Amino acid sequence: MKFSILFFSLVFLFEPLQSHPAHEPESAAAKELALAAQDFLAGLDEMQRESAVLPFSTAARFDWHFFPKWDRKGLSLGEMTEAQQASYWTFLERLLSAGGMAKTKGVIEAEAILWEQSKRADSRDPKKYYAVFFGQPSVDSDWAASFEGHHLSINLTVVCGGEVYVTPSFFGANPDEGPDGARPLAGEFDRALALLKTLDAGQRKEAMGSGRKSLYTGAKPRVRPMEFEGLSAANMNPEQQTMLMGLIKEYVGRYRDPFAEDDLRKISEAGFGKIHFLWIGGQARGEPVYYRIHGPSFIMEYANTQNGANHSHTVWRDFENDFGYDALGRHLETEH
């Protein structure tokens, strides 16, 4: 059955979007980011800065991954003093929301559990999360940054000092639920399952798929639009549309406003009714699950199929602006 999405258009289920130009508050927040990055870099010695800053044009900017790796780019937490680590966390606080910071630290705490379980194997060291900047952080030029380690890849691109792009964005957790009950990615699963449970028989038939057990997008440098699968938002009732947008915000809301607000606006304007929700696998915690939220401009994926369904992966990709691709292209065309 078809439901009007007018309700969603009239009641945008989060904080009201402001009437200011889209990039005005974003530019102010981007300036805060640049200044915090400059403060961090100023506290490094010369050898540390050589590791922490690479050219903006390097191909290494697009080389990201969430597997354990021995040769990540950047300066690790273990190579920083306590004061330098505190300065770097301050920088991340200018990018991430409070919830995003909690998820980030939760991912690293889950890695510490694996470290102990593996008798402190070097590949599981929770200090091996690496900070790197591409180009010099500035309030008026292009620069980028990443913070990456096992199960975490936070990527930031700033165009002209003011436009901020935050994908690819990867958060995973192993264990998904720790011995103390901590679940860094609880919202990504719980919100999706709650939405699934509201679907009637016809909707559920549309939403359910089969086959996939891992992320479609992997760690590709760029992801192109693909065929839609699953139940469209246009075929959801207003309550379900609310829940779907709440799930989307679980991913986007890892980042602070106005970055999150701007991305939510772009997702909505690209066509909310065209967003599709696909679910594959079990329908309860502890059962292997994959789901996908796929719109005209983006894709979000969740997979929890390993280690007895206690090993989760989540990713958010933007078809146009992962690593600021199209925004940088527009900038080059305009300025050059």
What's residue 218's pLDDT?
87
pLDDT of residue 139: 95
Q: Residue 23 above 70 pLDDT? A: no
Q: Are residues 230 and 119 in the same domain?
A: no
Whether 19 has a pLDDT exceeding 50, the answer reads no
Residue 57 lies in a domain: yes
At 308-323, the pLDDT tens digits run 999 999 999 999 999 9
| Residue ranges making up the domain that contains 142 | 23-177
pLDDT: which is higher, 318 or 325:
318
Q: How far apart are the C-alpha atoms of 132 and 52, rounded to whole Å?
A: 5
Domain shared by 136 and 160, yes or no? yes
**Other residues' Cβ atoms within 10 Å of the Cβ of residue 208:** 16
- Mean of pLDDT over the chain: 90
**Is the pLDDT reported for residue 32 higher than 60?**
yes
Q: Are 127 and 108 in contact (CB under 8 A)?
A: no
Amino acid at 102: A
By percentage, how much of the chain surpasses pLDDT 70?
91
Q: What is the CA radius of gyration of the chain?
A: 20
Q: Are residues 157 and 225 in the same domain?
A: no
Q: pLDDT band at 260, cuts 50/70/90?
A: very high
| pLDDT score recorded for residue 183 | 98
The reply to whether 68 falls in a domain is yes
Q: Does 15 fall in a domain?
A: no
Q: H-type helices in the chain, by residue range?
A: 6-10, 23-42, 46-52, 82-93, 98-117, 186-198, 201-207, 238-252, 259-269, 325-335
Say whether both 88 and 35 belong to one domain.
yes
- pLDDT at residue 331 is higher than 70: no
Is residue 7 within 8 Å of residue 239, measured between CB atoms?
A: no
pLDDT digits (tens, 9 = 90+) for 82-133: 999 999 999 999 999 999 999 999 999 999 999 999 888 888 899 999 999 9
Q: Which of 65-74, 120-129, 165-174 has the highest mean pLDDT?
A: 165-174
Of 177, 212, 232, the one marking the end of a domain is: 177
**pTM attached to this predicted model:** 0.91
Position 17 in a domain:
no
Which 8-state DSSP code applies to residue 279? E
- Provide the pLDDT for residue 333: 52
Is the per-residue pLDDT at 297 higher than 80? yes
- 3-state DSSP assignment of residue 324: helix
Same domain as 258, residue 123: no
User: Which residues, other chains included, contact 94 with Cβ-Cβ below 8 Å and sequence gap of 6+?
Assistant: 29, 32, 33, 36, 256
Q: Is residue 10 part of a domain?
A: no
Domain assignment present for 163 = yes
- H or E element, residue 277: strand 276-281
Confidence band (pLDDT; 50, 70, 90) for 327?
confident
pLDDT at 3 over 70: no
Which residues contact residue 318 at a Cβ distance below 8 angstroms, ignoring those fewer than 6 apart?
A: 165, 167, 297, 298
Last residue of a domain, one of 177, 205, 239: 177
For residue 280, being part of any structural domain is answered with yes
Type and span of the H or E element at 315: strand 312-318
* Alpha carbon distances (Å) from 255 to 102, 206, 245: 11, 31, 16
Number of domains in the chain: 2
Domain final position from 142, 177, 212:
177
C-alpha 131/C-alpha 75 separation (Å) is: 5
pLDDT digits (tens, 9 = 90+) for 141-160: 999 999 999 999 999 999 99
Q: Is 155:136 a contact under the CB 8 Å cutoff?
A: no
Least confident range from 138-147, 193-202, 321-330: namely: 321-330
